[in-house]
Amino acid sequence: MLGDQEGGHMLNRPFRPARGVTLIELMVGLTILAFLLVSGAPSLADWIRNNQIRSAAESIMTGLHQARAEAVKRNTPVRFQLTSTLGSDCTLSASGQNWVVNLNSGNSPAGKCGVNTSDAADPYLLQKSVAANSAGVSIALSSSSAGAAPVVTFNGLGQQAGTIATYTIDIQNTNGDCRTSTGTGSYRCLRVVVTPAGQARLCDPSITSGSGNKTQAMACPS
């Protein structure tokens, strides 16, 4: 009986709906969210562009490692080169946004980048890829030897073939300046260095191998 009475009281207890968010509270929340988004926008844009730089640099490193490994495996010269496109209209370019790896140091893939990869037919393409997926990324290959072609060739020992030059490939973003050793600049630009011995290394040009930075893993050769 008592249980029935208690149950009756519970059934007759007035229902109190959960309190919702008022219009004023909603407006305040949206204002705070908008402020946070606006204040964080520059940092987000910098993060995206730094990632674009790193992605291009790592793609180039992949191509260089592929070329060197194939040269050693096949005991024959293998070329790495930047190209303007990956189509039949491609040209070799020191500022190319793509890269191509092919057999035979004397066999240029210019005008033939659109063919399928094959080690049995001209131009003997082994691998090809887009390096920069963003129009804001710039790539610049240079050599310590004046007039050198924008081509890195590895021999069967994994060394650069026919040259004692050091190649550098700078990857930057055209939307701002590179960060310097003093901390100024918008983006962390990167550099790929290929030594005459054939070793390819990724480094940060804002960090030199001078005094105080010799243990920095990302320091570029001074």
Which tens digit of pLDDT belongs to each residue from 99-145? 999 998 788 999 999 999 999 999 999 999 999 988 899 999 999 98
Distance between CA atoms of residues 41 and 132, nearest Å? 23
Q: Which long-range contacts (CB under 8 A, 24 or more apart) does 186-191 make?
A: 186/46, 186/49, 187/46, 187/49, 187/50, 187/53, 188/50, 188/53, 188/54, 189/53, 190/53, 190/54, 190/57, 191/57, 191/220
Res 11: pLDDT: 52
Distance between CA atoms of residues 165 and 167, nearest Å? 6
Res 17: pLDDT: 58
8 Å CB contact between 184 and 148: no
Res 38: pLDDT: 56
Angle 117-121-127 from CA coordinates, rounded to 5°: 20
Distance between CA atoms of residues 95 and 75, nearest Å? 29
Percent of the chain as helix, strand, coil, to the nearest 5:
30, 25, 45
Res 102: pLDDT: 98
Query: Greatest CA separation found in the chain?
Result: 105
What tokens appear for 77 in the block?
A: 């010269």
pTM value? 0.79
Distance between CA atoms of residues 67 and 174, nearest Å? 28
> Domain spans of the chain?
22-220
- Cα-Cα-Cα-Cα dihedral sign, residues 195, 201, 204, 207: negative
Res 67: pLDDT: 98
Q: In the CATH scheme, what is the homologous superfamily, with its name and number, of domain 22-220? A: minor pseudopilin epsh domain (3.55.40.10)
Res 106: pLDDT: 82
Residues of the chain where predicted confidence (pLDDT) is lower than 50? 1-2
